[in-house]
Structure formats: C-alpha cells, structure tokens
Structure 1
Amino acid sequence: MELNTYLDATYLKTPADSGLTEQETNQNVIELIEDAIIDNYKLVMIRSNYIALAKEMLAKAKSKVQVGTVIDFPFGTGGLEKKLKEAQNAIDLGADDLDFVVDYQAFKKGEIDSVSTEILEGTKLGLENNKIVKWIIEVAALTDKEIVQLTTLIKRIVISNFKENDYDNVFVKSSTGFFKTPNGEPNGATVHSIVLMLENASPLPVKASGGVRTTQEAIDMIKLGVKRIGTSSQKAILFGQKGNSNY
C-alpha cells in the first residue's frame, strides 16, 4: 500500500489562525511543498494565495504532485456567488482540486434548494474546467441522520446532472478540521462518520479529513474504502510516528 498516493498534505492556517507571522506562514507552506516533492504526496492542499508559488516550485522540480485549495472556507456560508468567484480564481491560478465547504448550516435549517444549487453550480464549474471537486460536509456539525442526508443529496445531484465518467472526480469530504467541538470531541473524520459517508456516497469517492494522524489510522481509513486522506500529519503517517496536529 503506497500511503503517499492517498495523502492530500495540508496547510490551511492563516497567520491569524496560528499566531505566526506572514513570513513564518510562508516558510511553513514552502516546507510543505518541499516535503511533497521529496515524498511524492498526491497533492498539497493550501490557501489560494499560495497556488502560484506551489505550481512554480513543483514545475521546477518536475514533480507530478498536484495542488488543491479550499473554497468558502471554513464555514461555507458565503453564498453561491462567493463560492463561484473563489473557485474561478483558483482555476485561473492553476489549482487541480477545489475543496468547497457545503453550507451545512443552511442544510441543517432545511434550506435544501439553495444548498442544492451551490452543489450543482460549483460541481459544474469544476468539472467543466477538468478539476477534481470535493464537497466538505463537516461531519462534527451534523447528526448521523444529517450526514446520511447530505451525503445522499450530493450523490443524487451528481448522478442526475453529470456523466458516469465524472463520478470519480466528485468527492464527499468529511471535515474542514477547523470546526470547534465541545468537550474535546472529534472534529474530523471518525470511523463511524466515514462508514456512514461511504455507505451513502457510492459511486462517488470519499475523502477522510481531520484527525487522521498515524500510519494505522490512515491504513484503517483506506481499508474502509476512502480514496483520499487530508492531513497535516503526512510525515508522521509515512514514517510510523504520530502527528500532533488537529487536522
């Protein structure tokens, strides 16, 4: 099992999130990209303002590592226009993967039409530009029933509006890693939530993100059936250690 080929190596913290300076944040992103070149991860997942830097470094190294970014992150409440504008900007910059945050709060309120429109239009924009699209549902904010319902909604929209050969390019993704849970409860992928997603997403693939920090956890997720793992503990996963990041 080549674990590196499943890993979306991730750094999404802004200076405000981390308490670091802009320069320190830049250096963390550079180190992430350098590690990706050495260890040949599937992808680096970064903020859009670093896409150009990543593309330049990867091209110079003749690396096949891809570049992904997040859209309407981390809350997903910006609305359709914001989602599409951010996605188009990322496309123009050369991103390969677009990880949208579903407006899960609107979904929980029963605003299914607006959520459906976002999923349809965001997916359409990504696929028309030959990008991988992922929809982050934020499992820690949802009940089991809502996980099933939102995963099923995404699947139905894709199956009803796109061709079968597009299905592998639209993922359902578990978490942002930024959701604040009470009492230290998991804020990312758990075996329980991933099983619910897998059972209801097929034939769409699933990405487990948030909380996968060890080699065994990554192997367990892959054995369940996930096709990608989003993590900032990529080196720990590859080299048998344990990451200390929340993502």
Structure 2
Amino acid sequence: MQLNKYIDHTLLKANATVEDIKNLCAEAKKYDFYAVCVSSYYAALADSELMHTDIKVATVIGFPLGSMTSRVKAFEAQQCIDQGADEIDMVLNIGLLKSGYYKIVEDEIRSIKKTIGNKTLKVIFENCYLTDEEKKIACKLSLNAGADFIKTSTGFGTGGATLEDVELMKNEVHDYLKIKASGGIRDLKIAKKYIDLGVSRIGTSSGVTMVTSN
C-alpha cells in the first residue's frame, strides 16, 4: 500500500498564508501525495507551485457551510477549474437536505458536475449533522447526480470522519462512487483502518506525520 497516494494534503485554515500554501505544495512534492486541497482563492497558486508534477489540485467550494446558492457554487467551481483545479470538493446544502428538499440538493450536485465536466467532483456531507437515514439519502442523491466521490466531513463541523459512517456510505454506494474520509484523521493506524474499509482518499493535514511514521 502506498499511503502517500491516498492523501489529499490539506490546508483550509482561515489564517493560511501564501507562504503556508507554498510550503504545503513543497511537502506534497517531497512526499508525492496524490493531491493538495486548498481554498478556492489559492487554486492558481497551488497550480503554479505544482507545475510539471502529477499532483492534483483540489479546491473546496461552498465551504464550509454549504448554504450558498447553487449559482454561486457553480461560479466558484468554474473559476477554480479555470485557475487550474483538477478536483472540486463541494459542500452539499445541509439545511435543505435536512428539510427534505432532496430534488434541489440533487439538482445542485448535478449542476456542479455539469459545470466542471470531466474533472473530479467530491460531495461533502458533513455527517456530524446528519442522521443515518439522511446520510443514506445523501449517498443516493450524489450517485444519481453523477458525482465521483462522497466525502464525510469538512473538518469544521462538530465531528469528523468515523469508521461507522464510512462503512454506512460504502454499503450504500458499493463501488459506484469513491469515498473520501476527512476530519480528525491524524495517525497512520487509523488511516489504514479507513483504507481497509475501502476509502480511496484521505483528507488530512497530518500526511507528513503519517508517511514518515510508516
């Protein structure tokens, strides 16, 4: 198992500086991580820093609340792609999902996927706010809308990834969608447990610690 190739090396803190993003990209190159994950403003910078590598640039949109309008999310996604992003991690509209407005939630996911075309779309659920039934519904909506990944958490909610949530998500989507676990994953042992459950990507700011303790 090449752990480094599961890692989205992540920095989404509000106080992340230009130098911090450059350092993030330098670490990604040093340890050959699969991708970096940054705020949308830093898409162009990350793309520039990772030029001539195969490391992907992932950016978050509608982050971290998910409550922006669909048009705003689509605009943000398009701007990120235009600036070099390879992958988009979107937060679904949590409040509308919990309100039972499933068609609107599904249509929004579909519109973002249409906007970014063949680029990778990950849908962030923020599982800490959802019931198990709502998580299952979010899985189905994401699958129906043509997403590529489903993702556990932003890392900014009241809880992050759990093994139980990943198992539930896997049981719903099987191999039709990939799964990204993120939020609170900080050591090698727990990362391996997620991979054993079938996740394809791990979002973490502790990737360097993980791979150097391998």
- TM-score w.r.t. the length of structure 1 is 0.83
1:86-129 Cα shifts (integer Å, max 9, x gaps): 00100110100000100011100111121111011112222x2x
User: 5+ unaligned residues in a row in structure 2: which ranges?
Assistant: none
Query: Structure 2: how far apart are the matches of 1:79 and 1:51?
Result: 21
1:131-156 Cα shifts (integer Å, max 9, x gaps): 11000010111111111121122113
Percent of aligned pairs with the same amino acid: 38
Amino acid of the structure 2 residue aligned with 1:212: I
Maintained 8 Å contact 1:172/1:201: no
1:234 matched to which residue of 2?
A: 207
1:135 matched to which residue of 2?
A: 123
How far apart are residue 189 of structure 1 and its match? 0.7
1:14-35 Cα shifts (integer Å, max 9, x gaps): 22xxxxxxxx622221111100
Matched, 1:173 2:151: yes
Query: Structure 2: how far apart are the matches of 1:236 and 1:13?
Result: 18
How far apart are residue 240 of structure 1 and its match? 2.1
1:147-206 Cα shifts (integer Å, max 9, x gaps): 112112211333xxxxxxxxxx71001100011x2xxxxx11100011011111231111
Maintained 8 Å contact 2:62/2:90: yes
1:206 matched to which residue of 2?
A: 179
Q: CA RMSD in A?
A: 1.3
1:21 matched to which residue of 2?
A: none
Q: Secondary structure at the match of 1:110?
A: coil
Query: Structure 1: how far apart are the matches of 2:190 and 2:38?
Result: 23
How far apart are residue 239 of structure 1 and its match? 1.7
Query: Structure 2: how far apart are the matches of 1:155 and 1:47?
Result: 25
How far apart are residue 38 of structure 1 and its match? 0.6
**Within-5 A mapping of 1:146-157:** 146-157=134-145
Matched, 1:193 2:165: yes
Q: Using a 3 Å threshold, how does the CA distance of structure 1 residues 111 and 8 change in structure 2: closer, same or farther?
A: same
Query: Structure 1: how far apart are the matches of 2:17 and 2:131?
Result: 35
1:101 matched to which residue of 2?
A: 91
State which structure, 1 or 2, has the greater radius of gyration over its C-alpha atoms. Answer: 1
- TM-score w.r.t. the length of structure 2 is 0.95
User: 5+ unaligned residues in a row in structure 1: which ranges?
Assistant: 16-23, 159-168, 182-186, 242-247
Alignment equivalent of 1:110, drawn from 84, 100, 103: 100
Matched, 1:42 2:26: no
How far apart are residue 50 of structure 1 and its match? 1.5
Query: Is 47-56 or 87-96 further displaced after alignment?
Result: 47-56
